[in-house]
Structure 1
């Protein structure tokens, strides 16, 4: 759990991230994955804090009792958005920039989706008239054409096994015709 709700932690967030108190619009624990285009579609989630300001959505880590900015997403960088059930759905969503896809899961300290703050982040990053993919539209993972061989030993034996699997990659669906 990352502290952000107490007056002390709020003051420290402002100090560490160099944000004016009036600039902070919403704060929530946020898990994210950064997917550079062409990279593998699997991700080890980064657990941090999302701080919404008028100067961007700041993704920060809490290390050694210090808030450290690791990425900043500006609305003008977002080309399109992917969400399964729409802006109010209590689920992660993905924004696409020129270079990468960014999955954002806005959560409460208890690990549930933080719906109200997710909507704030979503609305900030989504410009009016911007394309939002919902449901099965806007797929952003495809077969790369590459193969990978994986293998090991059959459990409890010395019998080796191996198989070849297709390697997937992340791509930008915004540039496709919709």
Structure 2
């Protein structure tokens, strides 16, 4: 039972990371043809010379105080000098849904470092934002990931690596979950630690 409980907690803390990597190849948003590049510039109102890097990007938003679960958003990351634009592709139109500026980022979380083929997270005043920069085939897009990382990590920025800087913690509260074993009338239940997302960044003053 302890193993099951621990596994559930680990999944709850990392669900966005797992999903962001594994669902990447299903989107297939056009962005590398002359036609799609022109439409991106038009729809997002970006000058051609201002686009620095583009890649399919999956992201999770973790507001502080939430329970650490996430519904992965599948979209497009467009890096410009005026921000990293997170865009959706709806009805053959590119729609900006969020823009991340370096000055909004208080610290950065990455397990393996700047060049590691893995998602990374930036933490703002209000939330953690996990970014998985991927290729159309669903693999991590290393060169564009580095471009995003370098843009958002301004000089002197605090970067957590390894086990440091995890932004999901136990609250001390507990929750009982349960149900029926599939295909049987046998009930089951277990008690889980309730977790929350918090800001581990060094305190800064506005």
Q: Please classify the TM superposition score into its range, dividing by the shorter chain length.
A: over 0.9
1:176 Cα offset (Å):
6.1
Q: How far does residue 82 in structure 1 lie from its aligned partner after superposition? A: 0.6
Residue 175 of structure 1 aligns to a residue in which SS? Answer: coil
Unaligned 5+ segments in structure 1 are none
Question: Does residue 1:32 correspond to 2:59, yes or no?
Answer: yes
SS at match of 1:158: coil
Q: Does 1:129 align with 2:170?
A: no
Greater shift in the superposed pair: 29-38 or 143-152: 143-152
| Alignment length (residue pairs) | 177
1:20 matched residue in structure 2: 47
* Between structures 1 and 2, the one with greater strand share: 1
| Distance (Å, rounded) in 1 between the aligned partners of 2:117 and 2:183 | 42
- Say if 2:205 is the partner of 1:167: no
Superposed displacement of residue 175, structure 1 = 3.3
Equivalent residue in structure 2 for 1:61, among 88, 93, 107: 88
Distance 1:70 1:98 in 2: 18
Q: Distance in 2 between matches of 1:88 and 1:121?
A: 11
**Matched residue of 2:36: which SS?**
helix
**Residue in 1 aligned with 2:20?**
none
Quote the Cα distance in structure 2 between the aligned partners of 1:85 and 1:157: 44
2:111 is the counterpart of 1:46: no
What 5-or-longer segments of structure 2 have no aligned partner? Answer: 1-27
Distance (Å, rounded) in 1 between the aligned partners of 2:146 and 2:89: 23
Name the CA distance, whole Å, in 2 between partners of 1:29 and 1:106: 6
- TM-score normalised according to structure 2 size: 0.83
The match for 1:2 is: 29
Aligned Cα root-mean-square deviation (Å)? 1.3
Deviations 1:82-110 (A, max 9, x none): 11111011110000000000000000000
Deviation (angstroms), 1:164? 2.0
Higher helix share goes to which structure?
2
Deviation at 1:154, TM superposition (A): 1.7
Runs of 4+ aligned residues of structure 1 deviating over 3 Å after TM superposition are none
Deviations 1:60-79 (A, max 9, x none): 11011111111100000000
Partners of 1:147 and 1:170 in 2: CA distance: 16
